[in-house]
Structure 1
Amino acid sequence: MTAFASNAALLIIDMQNGINHPRLGPRNNPEAELRMGELLAAWRHSERPVIHVRHMSRDPQSVFWPGQSGCQFQHAFTPLASEALFEKHVPDALCDSGLAHWLHQRAIRQLVIVGVITNNSVESTARSAGNLGFDTVVVADACYTFDQRDLQGRLWPAQDVHALALSNLAMDYARILDSAEVLAGLGPNNLRG
């Protein structure tokens, strides 16, 4: 079993209204938000650090273009005043956001990553975290992605895209666990809030 330090941080990526836009297409993990919510409740209960990341796109066509409702956090993932909030303009939450410095200042070495999109912001952030030496966990059932076409036009189902992204991360960058394993690693007093 993986045990988590008392200052292991839960990093919630891009849980904003825009991610529910129909134009993004079919997705996998329909219960991902429930798993994220359970993890968030457990982190708050155990008083471990929670970090929210908001994407502010530089692309006017993005669901995360500043000034529109898509940039707002989903109600269930609205940060508390005591929780850290970082904004990013590229998929990687550790790139030019100040997050890495913030983590180092607090001697946080363990990151537990949830959110969207598995093969974009989650994967990019987890790769950087692993490269920077953080003990990184990606929670497989607390992330999701969408169907995607490759460069030859083949349509890949979201579940396949998700599985491949997690497999890539497991090679060198992060451990892949499910939410039950993570909750168990918080200790007996913190299971499911």
Structure 2
Amino acid sequence: MGRKKKKTPSWIDVKRNLKGFNKDQLLELIGDLYRLSENNKEFSHARFSLSEDPLKSYKRIIQDAIHPYLEDNETLDIDRAEDAIKRYSKAIDDVKGEAELMVFFVECGNNFTLSYGDIDDDFYDSVLLMYEKAIQNVTELSPKEQKVFKERLHEIMDSASGIGWGYHDGLRELYYESFPDDH
């Protein structure tokens, strides 16, 4: 006779336990979670708009992850940069803030390749995908809000001229498909 596998606890199980908590117990639990990790602190600060610039800590993570200083043996970590954007998106529903982080990601990636030369196909695919996502978010904004982002996206495209792996062509195609009036 085989052993029964234990069921992995789920959010439903946690929620069932939380229903019995009073306000003080919930606050204590939230405080424990807040102190548990930097990610939880960043999430709370963004969710409740507690910092002057809720994007600052996320931008720092993106900058460090996608434009590392190779001279200091720092490593490129695209997943970490993408994760920072996902965490911000979960913390707060802010299309403009997400667009800012996405454009910043692409600016950092673009600057990285301008600083260190050609990287590899996977790197450019990741940056192009983020450029596409950034454009999608920007197109959801009002025309007035789009203006600054479009200028930055265009600057990224212009500065990438001469970069290999079809990167510049990809940027141009994405930009002009989305903003044909700028052609």
User: Fold conserved (TM > 0.5)?
Assistant: no
Structure of greater relative contact order (alpha carbons < 8 Å, 6+ residues apart): 1
Richer in helix (by share)? 2
- The two structures have a TM-score, normalised by structure 2, of 0.31
The structure that has the greater radius of gyration is 2
Richer in strand (by share)? 1
- The two structures have a TM-score, normalised by structure 1, of 0.29
